[in-house]
Amino acid sequence: AAGVIQSPRHLIKEKRETATLKCYPIPRHDTVYWYQQGPGQDPQFLISFYEKMQSDKGSIPDRFSAQQFSDYHSELNMSSLELGDSALYFCASSPYRAEQSYEQYFGPGTRLTVT
């Protein structure tokens, strides 16, 4: 079965650089979520999109922005990178409430290292 695809899987950037993470949801899933998980930390919700519109926002820094495109893929743009941004970034997708479920399907993550 198709899964959530994230690219790149690994990314190394220097401080103050920018990074773009991409997420391709499962086909027919119209909702996308982004999470950040630092070393030894629990996943932190960043932002979500439904039908290409931002649906909710969590602890996403102002330096980060995201969008969902017409084909439902999403991109997380990160600027002025800081050492503390080093983390695993997960994308998840779900069908919108159609199945009355909280079930989200997570991708393999992008490991971002800021040096």
Partner 1 sequence: LAKTTQPISMDSYEGQEVNITCSHNNIATNDYITWYQQFPSQGPRFIIQGYKTKVTNEVASLFIPADRKSSTLSLPRVSLSDTAVYYCLVGDIETGGFKTIFGAGTRLFVKA
- Contact positions vs partner 1 (CB under 8 A): 4, 31, 33, 35, 42-45, 48, 50, 55-58, 88, 90, 92, 97, 100-109, 111
Print burial letters for 26-39: b (CB count within 10 Å at least 16), e (below 16): beebbbbbbbbeee
CB of 55 to partner 1, least distance (A): 4
| CB nearer to partner 1: pick between 11 and 88 | 88
| CB nearer to partner 1: pick between 10 and 70 | 10
CB of 109 to partner 1, least distance (A): 6
CB of 30 to partner 1, least distance (A): 11
Quickly list DSSP for 18-59.
Answer: -EEEEEEPPTT--EEEEEEE-TTPPPEEEEEEETTEEEEE-S
**Cβ–Cβ contacts within 10 Å for residue 115, how many?**
10
| CB nearer to partner 1: pick between 79 and 95 | 95
